[in-house]
């Protein structure tokens, strides 16, 4: 993952802040984490050095998250909190790889996150 080798301390601070806000929301039992999810992914895109990737993600905004495609009635709150804990864990794995500037681990963590996100969407929450 290019972001691992190109990230700056500013990128890491932005990503860490988004992770912290996401974690606080989930710890408080809130499922309102979409903005923090976007805040996590945008600095990753910026750190990649691919301006087009960043532009596309920033244009998509909230639509970047598969959760926006689900009707609220399809989501069981308790199950949703548990799934958000998994998302948070996946985000942390990506972040830790970025901190270490380990491109292979970052790539693997991002692939796992995208694969799991696809599966969560397929399963309806």
pLDDT, tens only, 64-102:
665 544 455 455 555 788 989 999 999 999 999 999 999
33 — phi, psi (to 5°)? -120, 5
Q: Number of structural domains, the chain? A: 1
Element housing 62 (H / E)? none
pLDDT in tens, 40-64: 999 999 999 999 989 998 888 766 6
> Which range marks the domain in which residue 116 is found?
2-122
How many Å from the N-terminal Cα to the C-terminal Cα in the chain? 27
User: Predicted confidence band at 115 (pLDDT cuts at 50, 70, 90)?
Assistant: very high
Q: What pLDDT score does 125 carry?
A: 47
36: domain CATH number is 1.20.120.530
Comparing CA positions, the residue from 63, 68, 112, 57 lying closest to residue 89 is 112
Q: What pLDDT score does 120 carry?
A: 83
Judge contact between 2 and 49, C-beta under 8 A: yes
pLDDT in tens, 18-39: 999 999 999 999 988 988 999 9
């Amino acid at each position: 993952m290019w972001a691992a080798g190109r990230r700056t301390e500013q990128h890491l601070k932005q990503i860490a802040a988004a992770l912290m806000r996401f974690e606080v929301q989930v710890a408080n039992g809130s499922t309102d984490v979409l903005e923090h999810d976007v805040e996590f992914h945008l600095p990753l895109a910026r750190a990649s050095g691919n301006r087009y990737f960043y532009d596309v993600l920033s244009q998509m905004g909230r639509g970047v998250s598969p959760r926006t495609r689900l009707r609220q009635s399809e989501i069981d709150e308790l199950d949703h909190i548990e799934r958000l804990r998994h998302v948070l864990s996946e985000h942390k794995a990506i972040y830790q790889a970025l901190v270490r500037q380990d491109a292979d681990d970052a790539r693997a963590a991002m692939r796992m996150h995208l694969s799991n996100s696809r599966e969560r969407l397929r399963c309806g929450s």
